[in-house]
């Protein structure tokens, strides 16, 4: 699931650490920053985030998924992952709360006038 942290002026690594994530380096091909958060004492299952920080726009553009298990074949990046669903949406909400991003407030149209 892709999401953004808008009006983001901080250090992305520190912000992700405050949300319980560990820095996992940069992807050598895409140069995206990688972070993960294990859900047990083992490495898997874990949430995995790739992302960029656009300082000019003050936006962190992130992509979150849940790795259920490690890749089966050496050198392969294929794994059992979830990219959408309730658990992913809840984790995005949790991350934004931990970092201090407020959810957008939507008012009913009749309350606007």
Identify the pLDDT of residue 69. 84
Listed in sequence order, the residues at least 6 apart from 111 whose beta carbon sits closer than 8 Å to its beta carbon are none
Where residue 73 falls among pLDDT bands split at 50, 70, 90?
A: low
Torsional sign, CA 47, 50, 87, 83? negative
Return the percent helix, strand and coil in the chain, to nearest 5: 20, 30, 45
Is pLDDT at 112 greater than 70 in this prediction? Answer: no
Distance between CA 81 and CA 47 in Å, rounded?
Answer: 9
Give this prediction's pTM: 0.79
Of the two residues 26 and 69, the one the predictor is more confident about is 26
Distance between CA 76 and CA 61 in Å, rounded?
Answer: 25
Interval 31-41 mean pLDDT? 94
**Count of C-beta atoms within a 10 Å radius of residue 86:** 8
Is pLDDT at 98 greater than 50 in this prediction? Answer: yes
Are 36 and 49 a contacting pair, CB within 8 Å?
A: yes
Distance between CA 68 and CA 88 in Å, rounded?
Answer: 13
Return the percentage of the chain with pLDDT > 90, whole number: 64
Return the percentage of the chain with pLDDT > 70, whole number: 81
Is pLDDT at 76 greater than 60 in this prediction? Answer: no
Is pLDDT at 110 greater than 60 in this prediction? Answer: no
């Amino acid at each position: 699931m892709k999401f953004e942290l808008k009006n983001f002026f901080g250090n992305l690594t520190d912000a992700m650490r405050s949300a319980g994530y560990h820095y996992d380096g940069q992807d050598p091909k895409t140069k995206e920053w990688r972070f993960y958060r294990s859900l047990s004492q083992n490495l898997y299952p874990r949430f995995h985030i790739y992302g960029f920080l656009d300082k000019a726009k003050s936006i962190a553009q992130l992509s979150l998924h849940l790795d259920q298990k490690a890749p089966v074949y050496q050198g392969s990046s294929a794994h059992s992952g979830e990219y959408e669903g309730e658990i992913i949406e809840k984790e995005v909400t949790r991350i934004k709360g931990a970092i201090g991003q407020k959810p957008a407030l939507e008012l009913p149209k009749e309350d606007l006038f």
